[in-house]
Amino acid sequence: MHHKNRSYFTEDHEIFRKSVRTFVEKELLPHQKEWEEKKFVPKEIFKKLGDQGFLGINYPAEYGGSGCDLWYKVVFAEEMTHARMNGFAMDVFVQTDITSPVIEKLGTPEQKKEILEPAIKGEKILALGVTEPSGGSDVARIRTTAKKVGNEYVINGSKTFITNGSRADYIVLAVRTGGSITDKETFKNAYQGLSFILFPTKTEDGKTRPGFSVGRKLLKMGNDSSDTAELSFSDCKVPAKYLLGEENKGFYYIMQNFQGERLITAVMSVASSRQLWNDAVAYLNERQAFGRRLADFQVWQHRFAQWAAEIEAAQELTYRAVDLYNRKIPCVKEITMAKLITTELVNKLAYDCVQAHGGYGYMAEYDVSRIFRDVRLLTIGAGASEIMREIIVKETGLMR
Ligand SMILES: Cc1cc2nc3c(=O)[nH]c(=O)nc-3n(C[C@H](O)[C@H](O)[C@H](O)COP(=O)(O)OP(=O)(O)OC[C@H]3O[C@@H](n4cnc5c(N)ncnc54)[C@H](O)[C@@H]3O)c2cc1C
């Protein structure tokens, strides 16, 4: 099943697609097995991505970006899935779609110079610190506090499951600067008491910031090439100039920022679905059973015909959301629906693709088994499916 969509992509997008594909084939694919096994990706690869301009696709030239439209980002995300290691792709998207957009949008010129510019070059790595051990879905109940003392914030608390967490130079950190989750009186305002701090993990002399520490390495069922860490903050002091945007507007910023994250998750899920479909169909056409190719059995033909139709539908919903987002037209409903539909789809499809591969599908060395494990995260992270349905309830006026 080929990917051709003339309504959205121009010749220039396709030229860009080829350059990303070449990069993925030369710089990522050859290392895939090693990085997945070692559960580690060298930091230098960020610099290589930066040198190609892949980390600043739609940022202004002033900060080293290329000023392109969102469709180039879509192309980049689609091609990144060809490395068949969602873990590393996630590390990169945390940089490009989850942390740097909010800095570009809200940062002061000084913050952009210090953080956005080197992030676009791939010289600094960024992480997003929202989730805490006590919960990720209920963002309003964030417990990590930041108290303003003089010209500094003093941070106390902990975060978990943080992608790029163990080696981030800056963490876009969600903290509580007001309200309370324990006091019933103030809880109703709890969501109004959140803020974002651009937490520098090192001090100016390059040492780990006192009071900040990275906990044990988290072992996961998939996404092995991604760095996922627990972080803790104990009376950790940060200059007040690292507050991002306005104090106590963090909840609103987090919700806004989720849109880009969910959209890119949908794009990746569709691209992974297409890849899974292509690999499985190739296998069905090759593998023999009972004197026939598996693809000759109508049961497999129908099953994969059904998946082809569902992938196409999911793709169009996703592209519709990209189109609206690109034109800055409100599209929370479309992005939420795309995130829900595509992430659920890729998981059900992956299940069938493992089945189509039989015992080989269960072998770790087969791409399909890795992708099956990797995509499991997609209905959980960036807002779980249950949360997507909650938003759709509100967006559609379902409850009257
Ligand atoms: C590999 C990995 C990487 C991650 N990277 C990051 C990162 O970089 N930064 C970051 O901040 N976080 C990150 N996360 C955290 C992720 O966003 C959270 O795991 C997710 O938001 C869910 O939060 P939780 O795990 O605390 O589950 P919970 O919030 O405890 O939810 C548990 C279950 O209950 C359901 N549930 C919750 N509320 C409701 C409701 N109202 N109605 C019905 N069901 C509900 C959920 O959908 C879920 O199924 C990462 C997670 C993983 C696994």
> What are 264-295's pLDDT values in tens digits?
999 999 999 999 999 999 999 999 999 999 99
Distance in Å, CA 362 to ligand 1 centroid: 27
User: Which residues have CB under 6 Å of ligand 1?
Assistant: 94, 127-131, 135-137, 161-163, 220, 223, 228, 377, 380-381, 384, 386-387, 390
Q: What is the mean pLDDT of residues 97-110?
A: 98
Distance in Å, CA 340 to ligand 1 centroid: 14
Distance in Å, CA 145 to ligand 1 centroid: 20
Q: Is the model's pLDDT at 161 over the cut of 70?
A: yes
Q: Do domains 11-121 and 252-395 have the same CATH topology?
A: no
pLDDT-derived band at 232 (thresholds 50, 70, 90) equals very high
Phi-psi region of 329 (alpha: psi -120 to 50; beta: other; left: phi over 0): beta
Phi-psi region of 209 (alpha: psi -120 to 50; beta: other; left: phi over 0): beta
User: Right CATH number for 252-395 from 1.10.472.10, 3.90.600.10, 1.20.140.10, 3.40.30.10?
Assistant: 1.20.140.10
Q: Which atom of ligand 1 is nearest to the CA of 94?
A: 8
Q: Is the model's pLDDT at 394 over the cut of 70?
A: yes
261 belongs to the catalytic site = yes
Instruction: Choose which residue among 39, 161, 227, 262 to substitute to test ligand 1 binding: the one with the highest number of ligand atoms within 8 A of its C-beta.
Output: 161
Tokens standing for 142? 């964030």
Report the run of H or E that residue 248 belongs to, with start and end: none
Phi, psi values for residue 309, rounded to 5°:
-65, -40
CATH architecture of 126-248: Beta Barrel (2.40)
Whole-angstrom CA distances from 279 to 85, 352, 361, 368 are 15, 12, 11, 8
Q: What is the mean pLDDT of residues 64-81?
A: 97
Residues forming beta bridges with residue 233, ordered by sequence position: 157, 212
Query: Which residue's CA is minimally distant from atom 7 of ligand 1?
Result: 162
Q: What is the mean pLDDT of residues 53-70?
A: 97
Q: Is the dihedral of CA 350, 353, 358, 364 positive or negative?
A: negative
Q: Catalytic pick from 78, 79, 114, 261?
A: 261
CATH top class, domain 11-121:
mainly alpha
Q: Is the model's pLDDT at 55 over the cut of 90?
A: yes
Instruction: Choose which residue among 137, 162, 217, 257 to substitute to test ligand 1 binding: the one with the highest number of ligand atoms within 8 A of its C-beta.
Output: 137
Please enumerate in sequence order all residues whose Cβ is within 8 A of that of 237, keeping only pairs 6 or more positions apart, or say none: 152, 153, 154, 155, 209, 210, 211
Cα distance between residue 93 and residue 114, in whole Å: 20
pLDDT tens per residue, range 354-383: 999 999 999 999 999 999 999 999 999 999
Q: What is the mean pLDDT of residues 326-342?
A: 97
Q: What is the mean pLDDT of residues 36-60?
A: 96
Domain ranges of the chain: 11-121, 126-248, 252-395
In contact, 251 and 192? CB cutoff 8 Å: yes
pLDDT-derived band at 216 (thresholds 50, 70, 90) equals confident
Q: What is the DSSP letter of 209?
A: P
Mean of per-residue pLDDT scores for the chain: 96
Q: What is the pTM of this model?
A: 0.97
Residues forming beta bridges with residue 157, ordered by sequence position: 233
